Amino acid sequence: MKQYCVYTRDDRFLEVAEWITNNKIKFEPHLNRTRFWVPDGAIMTEFLLKYSEVCPIVTEEQIGKYVTF
């Protein structure tokens, strides 16, 4: 499973959001972006073929920047 995001102002945001919903993908909506977790397997392959150019992967380093305690 890997974490990706889609930016709210992206032209394909609604398309990606619908795909996330239809595939029951866990997600976290934020003002500027929506983060979501794509499981390995066929669903990952489908996602990468359709949206890899739109949705950047969120790395461990980036995750730490947004977590505050």
Report the CATH number at residue 59.
3.30.70
Query: How many independent structural domains does the chain possess?
Result: 1
CB 4 within 8 A of CB 39: no
Assigned token pair, 8: 């709210």
Task: Let me know if 66 is exposed, middle or buried by CB neighbors in 10 A (0-12, 13-18, 19+).
Answer: exposed
Q: What is the pLDDT of residues 5-56, one digit of tens each?
A: 999 999 999 999 999 999 999 999 999 999 999 999 999 999 999 999 999 9
Task: Give the per-residue pLDDT at 20.
Answer: 98
Task: Let me know if 37 is exposed, middle or buried by CB neighbors in 10 A (0-12, 13-18, 19+).
Answer: middle
Task: Give the per-residue pLDDT at 68.
Answer: 46
